[in-house]
Chain A
Amino acid sequence: MNVLSDNFAMFREGFLGTVELTALSAVLALVLGTLIAAFRVSPVPALRIFGSAWVTLLRNTPLVLLFLAVTLGLPALGLKGWDSFWLAVMALGCYTSAFICEAIRSGINTVPVGQAEAARSIGMTFSQTLGQIVLPQAARTAIPPIGSLLIALAKNTAIASGFNVTELGSVQKTLNAASGYNIYVIFLWIAICYIIITFTISGLFRLLENRLAVAR
């Protein structure tokens, strides 16, 4: 009679699916977001244009449309053979990268320009200046909003259930269809699973914030 114990394997699979989808999309979003932020502050005009086009495009496209574009568009472009999980990682990672980029860029804007000038004046290159001096100081301002963005990402993974990916959203749909269980109880357990994930993310980010605050 208990939804959770009756379907524990399914819940576990869905939970792990959401965790993996969140984690891998987060890694992609952080790497891309940092790279695009670097583009946006680089001295090369072409990179700056590419960066702002990336942000404008992805930030203003509804995520569902992006999923459609990736799942229908990539195969049409000849990129066949990707399974739906990795397509979902692509869509979520690229989408979130646009927001991460902007969080990092606003962090960069809080670093006094004299810091980068001092770095350049001792002969550091653009990437050294960014990596050694600017980004570490930008991180302190950028970390809290990035935490919020990753929590939003965790919840956005539910959209993947509509695209043939096993995660918590798809578990909920399957169980709802299976009937026999109270729909509110299903909902409750699913919600608890999401809360575990989002609380873990916010806990990690609180730790990170404290760590950075101590290391001035």
Chain B
Amino acid sequence: MSEISVTKDAAPAADALVVLSKVNKHFGALHVLQDIDLTIARGEVVVVIGPSGSGKSTLCRTINRLETTDSGSITIDGKPLPQEGRELARLRSDVGMVFQSFNLFAHKTVLENVTLGQVKVRKKARKEAEEKARTLLDRVGVGAQADKYPAQLSGGQQQRVAIARALAMDPKVMLFDEPTSALDPEMINEVLEVMQQLARDGMTMVVVTHEMGFARSAANRVVFMADGRIVEEARPDQFFSNPRSDRAKDFLSKILHH
């Protein structure tokens, strides 16, 4: 699974799933995303790393339009992201998102969290939705917690429920924004293992993370961002052992020696 092409200028391949082209975004005077070009192939796992404030979260959030963009285009499976309304909602349901702070629906049980989107968005029958939810909860190892509320779960369990909630929509691509950064160290692996499995199963994934172990073992490509730009893209082994840009060298020296 490490064979997938990493050449940055590979023309949008036939099976390009997410294509960002010349995407720009400002927060007031701050130019957070600068001419971002990024193509993610179906089944590819892309890890995005970079210093804090470099625009990784914003990049992730523009892919399902939780953040608007100022210019450029984003297409998912060939369709440009709609501006607003029902069309956008429909497209979002195909893009799973996992947040740093889990964001499970606090007033709903774990089972309801995983069922709600299936029933309300996919219009599935409740019984069918619950069956699927239980299967997914078992798959991420929290089947026994189905009737609890999010606050009764550990962080690691909550994040696995959040992954199950996103998977319940049968997304074409999953976005992870620092999914393990809010977790106590002993819970990081249980979440990473779920993500590894997902990668092995062929899910298309964009993962913002500083977990080098995950990047090395699961990613097809590492994208290094700094100051709102994609500075470097490479296969994980190349990137970690032989970064080309000074920014990447500097960044890696800081996170690898502490």
Contacts and interface: CB of A to CB of B under 8 A. Distances in A.
Contacts of A118: 97, 99, 103-105, 162, 165
Interface stretch (A23-31, A131-139, A141-149, A171-179): A131-139
B120 A121 contact: no
A108 to B, nearest CB: 14
B84 A43 contact: yes
Interface string A111-133: 01011011111111100100011
A216 interface: yes
B150 to A, nearest CB: 10
A123 B92 contact: yes
A133 B89 contact: no
Contact of A137 (B66, B97, B99, B107): B107
A121 B89 contact: no
Given A43-B84, A132-B116, A121 B106 contact: no
Contacts of B85: 125
A124 B92 CA distance: 8
B86 interface: yes
Contacts, number: 69
B39 interface: no
Contact of B101 (A114, A119, A128): A114
A152 B128 CA distance: 47
Interface residues of B, number: 32
A114 to B, nearest CB: 4
A124 B105 CA distance: 13
B179 interface: no
Nearest to B113: A118
Given A128-B120, A133-B105, A136-B107, A121 B97 contact: yes
A115 B117 contact: no
Contacts of B163: none
Contacts of B89: 120, 123-125
Interface SS of A by simple majority: helix
Nearest to B94: A123
A137 B92 contact: no
Contacts of A123: 89-94, 117, 121, 169
Contact of A121 (B84, B96, B101, B116): B96
Nearest to A116: B103
A34 to B, nearest CB: 17
B95 A121 contact: yes
A125 B86 contact: yes
A216 B151 contact: yes
Contacts of B66: 117, 120-121
Interface in A24-68: 43
Interface in B39-53: none
Contacts of B104: 118
Interface in B213-234: none
A207 B101 CA distance: 33
A112 B151 CA distance: 14
Contacts of B97: 118, 121
B171 to A, nearest CB: 9
Contacts of B106: 115, 137, 216
Nearest to B86: A125
18 contacts: A112-B103, A114-B103, A117-B66, A117-B103, A118-B99, A118-B104, A118-B162, A121-B66, A121-B95, A121-B97, A121-B166, A122-B166, A122-B169, A123-B91, A123-B169, A133-B105, A215-B107, A216-B107
Q: Which 10 A-B pairs have the closest CB atoms?
A: A123-B93, A122-B117, A118-B103, A114-B103, A121-B97, A123-B121, A123-B92, A125-B89, A123-B89, A137-B107
